[in-house]
């Protein structure tokens, strides 16, 4: 239930109301919508409780909803979430670029790429140690060794780390990783989502390749319902009849989700297109329609990459892209 | 690599060849294709080894393949797999109907439904104890209690059990279940698939709602590569633009997979359509195009079902359907 | 608006009511639903008119609908349409198989195929004279000459003809064709549909490859609104992410449309799958779920066909299929 | 066939070669790729002809292609097409915004909107007179009267006109229209495309909602093969499982087609999303990834629009969008 508060109430009064509702056992939070101050409850308030708290004095109107607002919903928070990623913020105006190879292949490779993408302005380093592969006989990643190499790259570059976790039994091994990625195939792996709801670390939740916006948000809700409210959404393309590209990148998801949720949203144009030549234009488009960040595959020698080499930029191309992104972001700041 | 054997070789000679290849470290198996006897190896045979085994005498021709045949492939086995499900066979001419409610709701419910579907001719009883639900706030199943109720229904009816497992940590609890179901959302949950590859029990692998035939087979290969070769595939509809039905049931998967794999394939017209009135015609169509079985949701009081009531048949409608299925199967036997 | 008629009214009385409503300017028709006799009007009846016609005496209840029932709707007719195709009926229990080559290639070819499919039991002969091709440089059909060859085959076999019309300026040329086909690409070519609404000849309306059931019916309504109520619907597969087959045949459309419309529905498993080996199982499945007929590509020499040879059956395979279809239809008659 | 020309050849020499090939009956054109000068022929050159033209002297190498290059292909032209639209250029660096209502509703409406969008910087005025509607009973447009109103708006504003043509019999009526639009439903209406190939006027070819890039280009080829080489492509969204938006706008089509064709490409974010609030972000994204223009629905009173009001911007919102587009385009000019 949402309570529309009277105009003229001070911030202290509003917060006192929240505390008093909590004292009566409600989940309660302040929010805003279309210029109105709202007090969002997790269930309908009884008229008795409203009276007890002196309702007519501060209450403009009631908005009864069938369901309580979900934690992912814009209504629940009323402002964009800002999430700290190992010292770097994302969301609410803060933009981050995550870059690195599809797979960690060697110590030298990941350190070199880390240094290159840092020099170009990337905020976080990504690299796959455990890889979800369609065939059981494909390269499955270096595993623990890959994570060790990532840690060395972190030490040498100072960049926080992003890596995909496929199995919650591996959680201990990911201690040094700053942002845990859930891949598209696991978006509805509820056992994993529930386990990540208990973790004190932000989660990067990729969209399943045939999942609706609603289902995507409900998967984020699985994590948030468990207590971990630091979720970042990542659009990575959906599956359509078009075979020219690996996936069909659905950039409309950015403004749609902006209306539905307070969570930050980033875009992965590398998996979203599957072709290096398409990464720059789609990265720019993602920034232009309001994404909070990008995740981009960079490899020092794309032709020899052990996985997904076709979609990786080399460090020079990544550097040129970063220049354009900075220019575009500066231009967009003038719009507000 | 496939070796085409000379005509006129006796079965004993062929089997001796298999043993001798195994003795040289090859994976080896007899197979058939278009009237020819084949010896399938898991890697190319060296010409030295062929000579050593007296090749020209028994070898008609070589078929070099880029990749070794997958365990799911028709070539690997050369005949349809028959899988034992708690005493009932499926595949290679054996047809089974799995029936029961979406969710186990109570002891009385599951026992009553079990008795009803058995009387109509169902071969196995299904019931969900752990339910994958899009929202974390939806009914998630009775869990352990649901499995206990299923066990009682098994005792009272003698029907083997089918239930969905979502988390491999639950494996112990599923001891009494005869066929472990992997749901569509978990088709590419590789941690779960690998764990099931170590289990000594048949697995029912549902198709993910936007997965290709190739990906589906590769997920079966994950289980088989681990050592568990008893996998049954289940078509349950894919996601398309059409919103009138819950999913678009892709029955063409039956004859396509029949050409690609030796594994049995069944169809779930309940999830595949989402509407009770569509279950009978689509079940009949599935049988007519060669499915090895069906999985059908039956509820004693569909309107009060805790989940998916819209798609459940009542026992009377299920009984009428089973009569038609038997009639159709009898008719089809005359065709061969 | 639908008027539920009192039980016990005789057929003559009901028909007299229809005439009296028509006399007052209403579109009116008798229908049935769930055991009730209905009188369907094309707009809400005024209470004055109801009184004038002695309403309480014969009127059980009123069902006001927002929109008048469409002519395609089941409510409009209340019984399945039976359409005459050059002497052969389809719909309402009558089943027809249309067979023939994708393209008419020569006089001898079409006569030979016509004789072969007639001998196997086909009811109509199909053949493309004007072909819609994705590329302007592909073979576009023999045109007028192809129609001439078709006419000769009709003379020699007595089979009514089915051919695709792409441009209404060609209507004169199709005089000898008994069933005019609208192809999938033209399902929403409203100029063509409106022109066919003025024709006194049945129309075979194929489903567009990404059109919903609702859109498909509305395209049929375009034809019926023009005055031509003889429309047959043809499911031919939709476009999905799956690339193994040419299209994904959506057989669920059969029972869904059965609930929505009185029009006959047939299935084209040749275009629906794109592979000859899949035609037989999908044709059988279509018949099993209640289709009113089939359209099947047959070629006397599939490997040399000028178009779509991969999906054509040779006459022998078609003959085997027809035997199974007859056996299946006989079996199904026992079910009613 | 493509002939790679020797370095150092002057422009006059190259053009003389083209003329001489034409003299021998070849279709011939100069092109460029990766720094190489190419001479593109519409069929393989015979070695005799090559000798006759003194081949070794100017020929570096031959690139034999299975098929001749299509007229839509980049190879055919080797530089971006620039098309004149009633005095305004589009393509090859020229960017145009087409704006106006979905349907022309009245003289005052279209004149007022025309003046508003011109003031904001639109280059062309659009308005529907003949509307393709799913139902035959929906508003079908004002027809001839709508075209008359458009002509008045053109007189008063000086803006060139864009309007959709559905039937080639209407061509005469569209004389005053500067850019003829082919709608998504008619993308494969080959009769219409062939007729437009004979017209001396640019064509705006919208992508069908389930058509591949390849099919879209082949439909443009139908027009170009007829002699009309002024085709502009318009991305307007494809049909997917996502129901939150009207279509899924596929912006990746922009950079993909840029690699495949020399034709200009614009984007329609209004139909592409179906929601006014999503138009601005997706228009900006389209510009950022390299579109040559936009087509945007603007209505002076969206809530009362006779069709598609949900997706129309009011003139104020359009003006704010145009400011951002200009700012973004200026920023992008600095990148080259």
Parallel/antiparallel/unpaired status of strands C88-90 and C83-85: antiparallel
Are C240 and A241 within 8 A, CB to CB? yes
- B158: tokens are 């003698």
Are C277 and B286 within 8 A, CB to CB? no
Are A210 and D273 within 8 A, CB to CB? no
- The Cα-based distances of D210 to C252, C275, D95, D207 in angstroms read 20, 22, 27, 8
Are C210 and D215 within 8 A, CB to CB? no
* Helical pair D315-333 and A315-333, crossing angle rounded to 10 deg: 140
pLDDT of residue C65: 61
pLDDT of residue B261: 96
Identify from A74, A281, A323 which residue to disrupt to test chain D contact, counting D C-beta atoms within 10 A and taking the largest count.
A281
- D269: tokens are 């974010």
Count of pairs with CB atoms under 8 A, one residue in A, one in B: 60
pLDDT (mean) for A47-65: 77
* Residues of B whose CB is below 8 A from A222: 136
- Residue C211, helix vs strand vs coil: coil
Examine the pLDDT at C29 and tell me if it is beyond 80: yes
- The Cα-based distances of D143 to C196, D128, D185 in angstroms read 21, 8, 18
Taking only residues 219 to 238 of chain C, the set having a beta carbon closer than 8 angstroms to any beta carbon of chain B reads 238
pLDDT in tens, A80-138: 999 999 999 999 999 999 999 999 999 999 999 999 999 999 999 999 999 999 988 88
Distance between CA B270 and CA B297 in Å, rounded? 6
Count of pairs with CB atoms under 8 A, one residue in C, one in D: 59
pLDDT of residue B247: 95
Nearest CA in chain A to C243: A241
Are B239 and D243 within 8 A, CB to CB? no
- D152 in Cβ contact with D115 (< 8 Å): no
> B244 at the D interface (CB within 8 A)?
no
> A241 at the C interface (CB within 8 A)?
yes
ipTM, two decimals, is: 0.85
- State what percent of residues in chain C have pLDDT above 70: 98
Nearest CA in chain A to C246: A241
Sign of CA dihedral B212, B216, B217, B218: positive
Q: Hey, which chains touch A, using 3+ CB pairs under 8 Å?
A: B, C, D
Looking at the DSSP assignment, which residues form a beta bridge with residue D126?
D162
Looking at the DSSP assignment, which residues form a beta bridge with residue D97?
D294
Are B249 and C252 within 8 A, CB to CB? yes
Q: Hey, which chains touch D, using 3+ CB pairs under 8 Å?
A: A, B, C
Of A212, A272, A288, the CB nearest to D284: A288
pLDDT of residue A64: 65
Over chain D, what HEC string results? CEEEECCCCCHHHHHHHHHHHHHCCCCEEEEEECCEEEEEECCCCCHHHHHHCCHHHHEEEEECCCCCCCCCEHHHHCCCCCEEECCEEEECCECEEEEECCECCCHHHHHHHHHHHHHHCCCEEECECCCCCCCCCCCCCCCHHHHHHHHHHHHHHCCCEEEECCCHHHHHHHCCCCEEEECHHHCCCHHHHHHHCCCCCCEEEECCCCCCHHHHHHHHHHHHHCCCCCEEEEECCECCCCCCCCCECCCCHHHHHHHHECCCEEECHHHHHCCHHHHHHHHHHHHHCCCCEEEEEECCCHHHCCCCHHHCECHHHHHHHHHHHHHHHHHHHCCC
Maximum pairwise Cα distance, chain B: 70
**What is the least distance, in Å, from the CA of D184 to any CA of chain B?**
16
pLDDT in tens, A288-307: 999 999 999 999 988 887 77
pLDDT of residue B336: 66
The DSSP result for C149-197, as a single string, is HHHHHHHHH---EEEE---GGGGGGGTT-SEEEEPGGGTT-HHHHHHHT
Of C278, C322, D255, which is closest to residue A274 (Cα–Cα)?
A: D255
Of C210, C239, C241, the CB nearest to A239: C241
The residue with tokens 């990540």 is A196
pLDDT of residue B65: 61
pLDDT (mean) for C274-299: 97
> C241 at the A interface (CB within 8 A)?
yes
Are D239 and B241 within 8 A, CB to CB? yes
Identify from C140, C188, C208 which residue to disrupt to test chain D contact, counting D C-beta atoms within 10 A and taking the largest count.
C188
Examine the pLDDT at D298 and tell me if it is beyond 60: yes
pLDDT of residue C213: 97
- The Cα-based distances of C227 to C41, C84, C197, C200 in angstroms read 17, 16, 6, 9
> D289 at the A interface (CB within 8 A)?
yes
Give the lowest-confidence range in A22-36, A317-331, C207-221: A22-36
Of A254, A259, A327, the CB nearest to D331: A327
pLDDT of residue A336: 66
- Residue C5, helix vs strand vs coil: strand
Taking only residues 133 to 162 of chain B, the set having a beta carbon closer than 8 angstroms to any beta carbon of chain A reads 133-137
**What is the least distance, in Å, from the CA of A16 to any CA of chain B?**
29
pLDDT of residue D66: 55
pLDDT of residue D301: 87
Distance between CA C205 and CA C182 in Å, rounded? 5
Confidence class of residue D30 from pLDDT cuts 50, 70 and 90? Answer: confident
Parallel/antiparallel/unpaired status of strands A161-164 and B293-297: unpaired
Examine the pLDDT at D309 and tell me if it is beyond 80: no
Distance between CA B20 and CA B31 in Å, rounded? 16
Parallel/antiparallel/unpaired status of strands D265-267 and D231-235: parallel
Question: How many beta carbons lie within 10 A of that of residue B65, not counting itself?
Answer: 14
Q: In the predicted model, what is the mean pLDDT of chain B?
A: 92
The pair phi, psi for residue C278, each rounded to 5°, is -95, -10
Are C239 and A243 within 8 A, CB to CB? no
Examine the pLDDT at B183 and tell me if it is beyond 70: yes
pLDDT of residue B174: 97
Of A244, A255, A324, the CB nearest to D278: A255
> B329 at the D interface (CB within 8 A)?
no
* Residues of D whose CB is below 8 A from B211: none
Are C238 and B238 within 8 A, CB to CB? no
Nearest CA in chain A to D321: A335
Distance between CA A205 and CA A266 in Å, rounded? 10
Q: What is the dihedral of CA D89, D94, D100, D103, to 10 degrees?
A: 70
* Residues of B whose CB is below 8 A from D239: 241
Q: Who wins on pLDDT, A72 or C75?
A: A72
Distance between CA A70 and CA A58 in Å, rounded? 25
- B92 in Cβ contact with B79 (< 8 Å): yes
- Residue B174, helix vs strand vs coil: helix
Query: How many contiguous H segments (helices) and E segments (strands) does chain B have?
Result: 12, 14
Are B252 and C282 within 8 A, CB to CB? yes
Identify from C27, C135, C224 which residue to disrupt to test chain D contact, counting D C-beta atoms within 10 A and taking the largest count.
C135
Nearest CA in chain D to B238: D241
pLDDT in tens, B267-285: 999 999 999 999 999 999 9
- C132: tokens are 């819609």
- B272: tokens are 């595949």
Are C189 and D190 within 8 A, CB to CB? no
Identify from B184, B211, B241, B245 which residue to disrupt to test chain D contact, counting D C-beta atoms within 10 A and taking the largest count.
B241
> C277 at the A interface (CB within 8 A)?
no
Identify from A241, A242, A250 which residue to disrupt to test chain C contact, counting C C-beta atoms within 10 A and taking the largest count.
A241
> D265 at the A interface (CB within 8 A)?
no
Distance between CA C260 and CA C254 in Å, rounded? 10
Identify from D244, D254, D285 which residue to disrupt to test chain A contact, counting A C-beta atoms within 10 A and taking the largest count.
D285
Parallel/antiparallel/unpaired status of strands C203-206 and D88-90: unpaired
> A323 at the B interface (CB within 8 A)?
no
pLDDT in tens, A219-264: 999 999 999 999 999 999 999 999 999 999 999 999 999 999 999 9
- A211: tokens are 């999942």
């Amino acid at each position: 239930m949402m309570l529309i508060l009277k105009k003229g109430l001070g911030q202290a009064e509003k917060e006192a109301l929240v505390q008093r509702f909590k004292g009566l056992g409600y989940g309660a939070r302040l929010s805003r919508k279309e210029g109105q101050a709202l007090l969002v409850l997790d269930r309908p308030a009884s008229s008795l409780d409203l009276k007890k708290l002196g309702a007519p004095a501060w209450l403009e109107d009631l908005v009864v909803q069938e369901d309580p607002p979900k934690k992912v919903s814009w209504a629940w928070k009323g402002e964009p979430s800002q999430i700290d990623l190992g010292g770097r913020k994302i969301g609410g105006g803060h933009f981050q670029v995550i870059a690195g190879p599809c797979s960690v292949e060697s110590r030298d490779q990941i350190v070199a790429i880390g240094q290159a993408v840092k020099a170009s302005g990337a905020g976080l380093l990504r690299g796959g140690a455990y890889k979800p592969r369609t065939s059981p006989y494909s390269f499955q990643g270096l595993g623990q060794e890959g994570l060790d190499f990532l840690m060395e790259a972190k030490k040498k570059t100072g960049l926080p780390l992003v890596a995909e976790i496929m199995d919650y039994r591996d959680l201990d091994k990911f201690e040094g990783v700053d942002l845990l990625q859930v891949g598209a195939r696991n978006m509805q792996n509820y056992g994993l989502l529930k386990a990540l709801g208990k973790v004190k670390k932000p989660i990067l939740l990729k969209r399943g390749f045939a999942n609706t916006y609603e289902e995507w948000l409900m998967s984020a809700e699985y994590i948030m319902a468990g207590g971990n409210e630091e979720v970042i959404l990542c659009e990575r393309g959906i599956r359509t009849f078009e075979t020219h590209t690996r996936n069909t990148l659905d950039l409309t998801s950015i403004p749609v989700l902006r209306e539905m949720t307070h969570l930050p949203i980033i875009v992965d144009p590398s998996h979203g297109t599957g072709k290096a030549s398409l990464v720059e234009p789609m990265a720019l488009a993602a920034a232009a329609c309001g994404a909070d960040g990008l995740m981009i595959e960079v490899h020092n020698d794309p032709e020899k990459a052990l996985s997904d080499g076709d979609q990786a930029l080399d460090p020079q191309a990544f550097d040129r892209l970063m220049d354009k992104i900075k220019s575009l972001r500066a231009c967009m700041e003038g719009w507000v």
